Structure 1
Amino acid sequence: MNTQRKSRVIINANQKGGVGKTTSTTSEAIIASLPNPEFNNKVCLIDWDIQANATSLLGKTFDKNFPTTIYQAIVNEDLNSAIVELTPNLHMIAGGRDMSTYGDFLEMQYPYHKKDPISIAETKFKRTFHFSKLLESIKKDYDYIWIDVGPSTDIKVDNAMVAADYFIITQETKTYSFEGSIDIIQVYLQTLIDDFGEHFKGEVLGLLPFLLQPKRDLHEEIIRNTKETFGENFTFASIVSNQKRLEDYPEYGISVVDYHDRKIFALFADIFCEIEERINFFETIGDVPETYRYSQKYLDGNKLTTLSRNLDLGTYEFKGDE
């Protein structure tokens, strides 16, 4: 393997469940790993959520079992032991209910003296960055690592968040979701910055809208408010709508049957390309320019482009009862 890879760790973040975090995470990871020349990245997806929805989805998609969870790998201090190859480019570390005890594990690993303020601060740092240190052991093997986190803000989620290079805020186009996006950026992430300063390295790439209800005026208003609050350049060009195929995938796994499936792949191909463009801005000029607008490459309105028709989706094509 190439030992000179510059791995980027990405989290789709929101403090509410059911807003598209797992859909985004799995779809972005799959697109990044496609063997097409414009992608062809080595990718690892880590399921950090105790509900393990990403594990279930990709287990069905690739007919794979996962003998070791991320929690077990952390306890054993060996992330490599939990990695399962789904495709040559896409690997995964499974989630599980045992992750619910991770906070207890950290307390046992790093006890502190309650009357010593220095000990308390040092212990908090060690607990919060425990996973980040372990992650370094596999980062050299991957171009991208996605971590699928649950909808909470406890020490467990903090461990994942401080390990990330970039965040994408997934926002359902409802009023309380818009307010939640403001909260996660201006309160939760700011708290991590205040607590850990330069040790917290994550940057927010932008906000990805999810339209989970029939389109209506409120949806347009939320998008306008988002652009007014954060800047038009902060909002991703693509909007993920609630298509029936996205609802079916968790039950049957991801497969390409017809045009509708290809359109979903094309949608997330554009989302991933925009992710890469935004990362490039951060790593070259330090921020996304105010004038930046992504130009769609894989979906022209509602139509597949030549690029999307040329996506190599053989791994996901429906094989019937074979």
Structure 2
Amino acid sequence: MNYLLRKLGILVLTLWIAATLNFILPRLVPGDPVGAMMARYQGQLSPAAADALRLAYGLNDQGNIFMQYVHYLGNLLRGDFGRSMSQFPTPVIDVVTQAAPWTIGLIGVTTVISFLLGSGLGLYSAWKRGHPLADWMPPVALFLNSVPYFWLGLVLLYLFALKSSVFPLSGNLDPFIGDAWTAKWWSSMLRHAALPAVTIIVTAAGGWLMTMRNNVMGVMGEDYLAFARAKGLSEGRIVNRYVLKNALLPSLTGFGMALGFVVGGSILVETVFSYPGLGFYLYSAVAAVDYPLMQAIFLLIAAAVLIANFIVDMLYAVLDPRVRDGQE
């Protein structure tokens, strides 16, 4: 219980620190967001309208940063993220709720697939050392893991969208697709998600492969494996009961971090493919100096990462009681 309360206290403290940094960092970006909005409308907004916008966004008193901070925390506790400046007058919460399912669906699914695929191949590569296929896996994985997301995405777009038109160039759905969840809708959605998904899986699986391979190599040198073989246990039982569990534990932290960052999406991938997820909107918000949208997405990313790490800590305590016992 003390371990759980301590971890909860750390979670709440880090969430507050993240919210405070989330308030400060966007204000370090050069430029005035209302000025950027006026420039976008090419002088169509009067000075009175600009003053009204500054008042609405809590920027009317630029010198009183403390009052802006108090106003920001109060709105945050009410779940009010304000209105987007780059997509005025759409509320930020509407932009986030519209983009989040696409990011979670694409980045979340591909993160899980790449983790399972890479970890499985890494286990095979380490356990079957000496076999040609197993020995070829590490250099191939290192090469794929070093390939930048955006470069591979551009290559796939050129080959399979621009030259052959097998897949669409951008977006998440065909125009005028009709009702959602129909067979036509699913077909369109999967075609648009195929190239971004392949880009993420191919580049990320290599990293998980190398991580799992190194973990398995470390476990294979432990004395309890020699004892298990001396008892006459089968290779399959040794792998499933001893090797896999102990080699997978160190990967849980990285997997938890990866799941946390799912909320932010893969900014480069979504930007290259013009995929309307949170990463794409975050890039657009930074370019447009859109404080409210930036703050909302930044805070969601930070909260997701912190909560994911908290869940991983709880899983560690369940899977390895030594962690819990050592803290109490």
TM range (shorter): under 0.3
Q: Which has the higher contact order (CA 8 A, sep 6+)?
A: 2
Query: Which structure is larger by alpha-carbon Rg, 1 or 2?
Result: 2
Higher percent of residues as strand: 1
TM-score (norm 1): 0.27
Higher percent of residues as helix: 2
TM-score (norm 2): 0.27
